[in-house]
A and B are shown apart, each in its own frame.
Chain A
Amino acid sequence: MQISLQQVAPTFIEQEKIASSQVWNKSIVFHPAEKIQIIAPSGSGKTSLIHFLYGMRKDFSGEIVYDKKNIRSFDAEDFAAYRQKHVSIVFQDLRLFPEQTVLQNLEIKRQLNSFHPENKIAAMARRLGIESKLTKLCKTCSYGEQQRIAIIRSLLQPFDFLLLDEPFSHLDDNNRKTGLELIEEECSMRKAAIILADLRQTAHFKADRILDL
């Protein structure tokens, strides 16, 4: 399984930015078990790229091909299957259910396509220091705590690619380190690739490839 970008470029970004990018309008292939760091200053289309890969937006030229299939031709059901089995994500804006408890937020993902047993949630939460928050409403958690919830949620399903959009922006160095360790462990367990997009090079992340957007 691999994802290849064939001359992909957002339709809304200036040509100069596209010309200087190592990603836009290029042919790039993301392989399994690869660790890719994408460094992107604000406004260069970092979140757009992650959304393109996850199939949430289609306002780009070129093609994104997953497992020999052009994801532009996917319908709603194909995308559901793609997101259940092959691609997981931590959104920059997290996208958690604010009115539900932390546990409900995690269980709703785990039940969809379980990769881990139920007790794994508590174990992961303990490891990231949010175990005591499991029964609390998500909206009552700090942004840093919510980031860790989003990280755990992304690790509860099977996947070949993990898309991370500034996942540690509100975490201190220690939390960033434990978070990254957990992510790397889970990815190596699945032989999955990590595509981490950030404003600058992420500390503790030893990327196989670094691409400037």
Chain B
Amino acid sequence: MALSFKHIAPFLTTDQNRSSRWLSYIGLGIGVLLLLCSIQMYINIDALLKNKNAKKDGYDYISITKKVTNENMAEDHSFNEADMSELKNSTLIDDATGLVANKFLVKATGGGAVPFTADMFLEAIDENFIDTIPPAFNWKEGQTLVPVIISSDYLELYNTVFAPSRDLPQVSEKTLSTIIVQLEFIGNSGTQTFRGNIVAVSDRINSVLVPRNFLEWANQQFGNKEKSNPSRIFLKTKDANNPELLSFLQQKEYHINKDKTKFGRVKQVLQMIVTGLAGFGILVVLLAMVLFSFYLQLMIAKSKENLQLLLTIGYSPEWLSKTVAKKWVPVYIVVIIMAVVITVLLQWSFQHFVMKDRENLSPIVNWIVFATASLLLVLSVAINFRLVKKLLYKL
């Protein structure tokens, strides 16, 4: 018959201080639960405050400019090559590109359908930064018809503010493509008129976009020949709400399109609160462990004479410490499994009852929570083994 704890149990004073033992079990359970729930909430916040913006291939696109203040109004606010390479080399940013702007005067007239004349601007950007690129969005030299992409905000403004105030017809996105706008370019080499055709609207880029090769050609033709740096940069990033990215840009004093990152601050604050809770959970776990270690020390101190005698009559200290420590392994397993089960139930209830089955929130607990629970189990068992061994070898 193999020796086990039950053989030596009568020689140990295990029944004393039951209350501190149970308190430590409850403390461990509460601490682990608090920690696991905090981790899960952290992940939930991450999931819920993501995907708020139009994404292309899972990326967020935000535009940045250099802040203009009263103090620096006279300075150059464009991005030089060093700024660009710093942005491109940042691990937080996947790609960055400058917006090319017109360097000559542009006037737009609506023609017969929408009678208006206005000074306006044009910009161009790398095509892979644009969310909606129809096949017609290209230009060849000699072509007078220029495809244009405008921000969907402009269309909305036109339909809700401009058109009703002037008693003009409202236009749909589809009708928009049939409208031809006269674009008059006035520059060093004279004046030329192009026909602008709105081929798409963009949710992402707040501008009037034309093909890049067209604007570069036009700048050469009508603008000054000097090469200038872009004043507005578009960034491609995995998560525009990443607090690290936001603080990086803040530190560089770049102005960010607030609308796209407003969740960033909320997320930062919420995650800080949850991190605080997790810290508190760790503290409770530690206190529970300390309490349990007091119980173990007391038990070993009270059983000291018997344990010494067991060692004297030939019991191995290694076997004794393992056997005594092993006694509490099932308790740790039960306590931690209970905390995991409660976390699983809470997550499911949160997703189902509070978030009303929202799709971007999983009802299943994240694997990190399980990994943390396993790690805690291994840690608590290992600490327990070490402690018992240390106490026994001290006898």
Cβ–Cβ contact A112 & B317, under 8 A: no
Residues 143-164 of B, flagged 1 when their CB comes within 8 A of A and 0 if not, give 0000000000000000000000
| Interfacial chain A residues near B311, Cβ < 8 Å | 76, 80
Candidates A76, A81, A99, A109; contact of B313 at CB < 8 Å: A109
Q: Would you call the interface of chain B mostly helix, strand, loop, or mixed? A: helix
B316 cross-chain contacts in A, Cβ below 8 A:
76-77, 80-81, 84
Max chain A CB contacts within 10 Å: which of B314, B319, B393? B314
**Complex interface: chain A residues within 8 A of B319 (CB):** 80
- Asked whether A190 is an interface residue with its Cβ less than 8 Å from the other chain, the reply is no
The answer to whether A108 touches B314, judged by C-beta atoms less than 8 angstroms apart, is: no
A83 to B311, CA, bound (A): 9
Q: Given the complex, which residues of B lie within 8 Å of A99, measured CB to CB?
A: 306
Asked whether A100 is an interface residue with its Cβ less than 8 Å from the other chain, the reply is yes
The CA of A108 and the CA of B7, in the complex, are separated in Å by: 7
The distance from the CB of A152 to the nearest CB of chain B, in whole angstroms, is 13
Q: Out of A84, A95, A97, A100, name the residue touching B314 (CB < 8 Å).
A: A84
A20 to B283, CA, bound (A): 66
- Give B320's nearest chain A residue, CB to CB: A80
Whether A108 and B312, one on each chain, are in contact in the complex, defined by CB atoms closer than 8 angstroms, is: no
Interface residues on B, range: 10 to 19
- The one of B7, B10, B314 that contacts A80, using a Cβ cutoff of 8 Å: B314
Chain B residues closer than 8 Å to A80, beta-carbon distance: 311, 314-319
Q: Taking the complex as formed, is B334 at the interface, i.e. its CB lies under 8 A from any CB of chain A?
A: no
Question: Which residues of B lie under 8 Å from residue A109 when comparing CB positions?
Answer: 313-314
CA–CA, A97 and B310, complex, Å: 9
Question: Smallest CB–CB gap between B319 and chain A, Å?
Answer: 8
Within 8 A of A (CB), among B315-358: 315-319
Given contacts A77-B317, A83-B314, A108-B313, 7 further A-B contacts (CB under 8 A): A76-B317, A76-B393, A80-B316, A95-B312, A100-B11, A104-B10, A157-B314
Per CB-CB distance, the 10 closest pairs between chain A and chain B, nearest first, are A83-B314, A80-B316, A84-B314, A76-B317, A111-B7, A112-B314, A77-B316, A111-B3, A80-B314, A77-B318
